[in-house]
Amino acid sequence: MKGTLYLPYYDYNDGAFDVSDDYYGGQDYINAMTDEYNKKKDVVFNSMLGMKNGSQGVFKGMDGQMYGFGDKVSQSAEKVAYSPCECILYGSDGEEESVDGFIEKFASQRECIEMVELDGDTSGEEFESEMMLWVREHDSINSYKGKLGEEWAWLKEPKRDVKLHFKNKADEDIYAVLENCRIMDIIDSNMFILFIEKITLVDNI
């Protein structure tokens, strides 16, 4: 089945960097940053969960606790966008996936496997960058498989919500989200086996 795969990436507004009226300025900002650092310097911030619309910045530390970092932040225009690449999907039997076969997988709402062959000539720069990052994360986790076991590696396997566009038999546009995809195997630079937890149909990309 021919289609177009879309990988998520962060799209930053290159325009003016708007800030709230009460945003820290000059030395006040430096003092606030220093004070917060001294109070929380033993915490490793590994996941930024907030920092938008002038609200309090919220971080999740390695210890699982939530930490605020100041109460006045910039209003940066950041959103998730999707970069395309044309592809062909194959089923777990290695045969090219049919539209009916794919719809049956959606209807079952079960986990499934798809082999994806990417057409590298049609991929955007962001798609290539995100795909390379995903593969590096996959390789990094699997480098510990011998030491920590296959079950540990599978649980830590990086996931992506990937979007897909294809045509049905009536030549209508169909859009789907392949939820919590994991890379099961890498055949070559353009072919991957993906484990998909769930397929959801959506109105658009």
Domain ranges of the chain: 2-12+80-202, 26-75
For residue 79, pLDDT over 90 is answered with no
| Residue range 8-57, pLDDT digits in tens | 998 865 544 444 444 444 455 455 555 554 554 444 334 333 434 444 44
| Whole-prediction pTM | 0.68
Residue in the structure block whose two tokens are 């540990």: 152
Can you tell me the distance from the alpha carbon of 119 to that of 123, in angstroms, rounded to the nearest whole number?
Answer: 7
CA atoms 9, 118, 120, 192: torsion sign: positive
Can you tell me the distance from the alpha carbon of 151 to that of 137, in angstroms, rounded to the nearest whole number?
Answer: 16
| Residue range 130-141, pLDDT digits in tens | 999 999 999 999
User: What type of residue is 158?
Assistant: P
Six token digits for residue 86: 């044309």
pLDDT of residue 25: 46
Can you tell me the distance from the alpha carbon of 141 to that of 163, in angstroms, rounded to the nearest whole number?
Answer: 24
For residue 67, pLDDT over 50 is answered with no
Mean residue pLDDT across the chain: 79
